[in-house]
Structure 1
Amino acid sequence: MRDSFSTFHPVVNFTYFTTVILFSMFFMHPIFQGIALTSAFTYSVSIKGKKGMKFNLFYLLPMLLLMAALNPVFNHAGVTILFYARDGNPVTLESILYGIASAAMFVSVILWFSCYNEVMTSDKFIYLFGRIIPALSLIFSMVLRFVPRYTEQIKVISNAQKCIGRDVSQGNIIQRAKNGIKILSIMTTWALENAIETADSMRSRGYGLPGRTSFSIFTFDNRDKIMFSIIFGLIIAVLTGAAAGENTIRFFPSIKHADITVYSLLVYTAYFILCMMPVIINIREAIRWKHIESRI
């Protein structure tokens, strides 16, 4: 599915991801965590397809289950004792639920950052912060590109070494270790040379100099204004509910949370719409495109 949300202005994209990441980190209420996890998972799959589904199911889901299972092993706080382990330590309901909430929070943040990395490209980040913090914005944009770009480069190096019999899968253990060190050395040399070339290129272009102008393809049009207003309104609604205590929960020594009321349901709905906003936009654009195709 084509990601229509990424076509909005960088201010809209950055505001959205900053908000949902912070909310996912600080809202430990199970309903908020469930909404954030479901929304991040759905958006990740919608923009990455089968690759995102595979990563989420085979890496993040086991991580979620492992973190949720480890917490009651080391954390024995809570008054609701379910049973005793072989070492005599109690396993409590509160520690289990807190472990699930913590694991959901951790996985949600990872998913949001993976979506952020797909949408907020380096040119968008430099556009937002290039004039305020030119050096730091350039370094940060390079860091964001580090993993995907260097992963592809190390595959190229490994394939080249495999052709001459020097891959980590060839030879005995000692030879494989030597081949791995050789590949790592080549990769390090390439990374250092690439960093120097990038720095020289940006310096020759006058990056960071006062009064320097730069070309930009981004314009804050009416569509961006409407979307930013909707996101800002949803943020205010969620923050108002948080100030009223609708997102608070206490795990220890016993579980205590605010009662579910009509107002809390409205807050949950606002948070759900906020988190699912990119998916809603993509579905809407896909329906419009199908409608246009049917009329041709």
Structure 2
Amino acid sequence: MKDAFSTYHPILNFGYFTFVILVSMFCMHPVFLTISFIGAFIYSIKLNGKKAVKFNLLCGIPILVISAIANPLFVHEGVTILTYFSSGNPLTLESIVYGISTSVMLVSVIMWFSCYNKIMTSDKFIYIFGKIIPGMSLILSMILRFVPKYKSQIKIISKSQKSIGRDVSNGNIIQRSRYGLKILSVMTTWALENGVETADSMKARGYGLKGRTNFSNFRFDSRDKKFTALALCLVVTFLIGIYSGCGKIRFYPSIVISSENLQSVLTYTSYALFCIIPVVIDIVEEIRWKRLRLRI
């Protein structure tokens, strides 16, 4: 079944990911980082299945470990000294906590962007920004689809070269290098030709011309209105809490975290509900779909 949240209006999709990514980047409080990490992890698995589990483990864990270790090695600020390195520099609790927080933030943002790339297709992006910045929106949409499209094409080229015995797995080191350069050359030529064809095609269709009309199947219906009302309530509750001082944290020179109260709990809850909305929407739609199938 297709992801239900992806069928919502593109502005809502874009606004949702913009908000969660910005909060993940700038709110370094442990509770917010944990909520963002769990929400991104669950939604990425919901969207991509086993591929997301593999990506999160093979890519996320190394980033977590490297980022968490790198900060204490190079940053020695903080008043809580745990021990000293052989170089004489101190190992501080503050640098360890900040390194762990930064690594969790980085992995969370990467996972949210993987979900974004799955939901925000190029036609949605052009629909939102096509009238405002037509040239830039086209370039950005092409960049966003660069990796999956070119990855698919290079597999096709590699298989065709392998069929005539010119793959990078054939021959000695020199021959493999030559075959690899050949594949890269073919790929580069294809990319340039594809870019020229795309530019000519868009120009022939009058893309970016003043007064040009645009057709779109996207409509802001009652379902989108309900989502907007719910999302705004959660966002306003979150922003009020942040403005009141909830979720503040200082790492250097000592760790200072804002005191917990009822408002902070409401702030954490509103952000957690906001992060989990797409998954809840998918689950509700799946239950509804199964009920409809049973009635047939």
Q: 1:11 maps to which residue? A: 11
Give 1:163's aligned residue: 163
Aligned twin of 2:227: 227
Question: Does structure 2 conserve the Cα–Cα contact (< 8 Å) formed by 1:78 and 1:92?
Answer: yes
- The equivalent of 1:136 in structure 2 is 136
- 1:100 alignment counterpart: 100
Opposite residue 209 of structure 1, the aligned amino acid is: L
Q: Which amino acid aligns with 1:22?
A: L
TM-fit CA distance, 1:288: 2.0
Aligned equivalents of 1:286 and 1:92: distance in 2? Answer: 49
User: Cα distance, 1:88 vs. partner?
Assistant: 2.4
CA contact (8 A) 1:2 1:47 kept: no
Structure 1 consecutive aligned stretches of length 4 or more whose deviation exceeds 6 Å: none
Deviations 1:249-288 (A, max 9, x none): 0001110011111110110000000111111111121222
Distance 1:16 1:142 in 2: 22
* 1:57-105, Cα deviation, whole Å (9 max, x unpaired): 1111221122111111111111111222232222111111100111111
Give the Cα separation in 2 of the matches to 1:199 and 1:62.
Answer: 39
Q: Distance in 2 between matches of 1:3 and 1:82?
A: 48
Matches within 5 A, 1:194-213: 194-213=194-213
Identity %, equivalent residues = 59
TM-score (ref. length: structure 1): 0.97
Tell me the C-alpha RMSD between the 2 structures: 1.1
- Provide the residue aligned with 1:126 in structure 2: 126
The code of the aligned residue for 1:184 comes to: L
Unaligned runs of 5+ in 2: none
Aligned partner letter, 1:15: G
Higher mean alpha-carbon deviation, 229-238 vs 129-138, is at 229-238
Q: Mind listing any 5+ residue stretches in structure 1 that lack a counterpart?
A: none
> What residue identity is the alignment partner of 1:285?
E
Partner of 2:54: 54
Distance (whole Å) between structure 2 residues aligned to residue 121 and residue 92 of structure 1: 44
Matched, 1:182 2:182: yes
Q: Offset at 1:173?
A: 1.3
Q: Output the amino acid matched with 2:27.
A: F
CA distance in 2, matches of 1:38, 1:264: 19
Question: Superposed, which structure 2 residues align to 1:15-34 within 5 Å?
Answer: 15-34=15-34
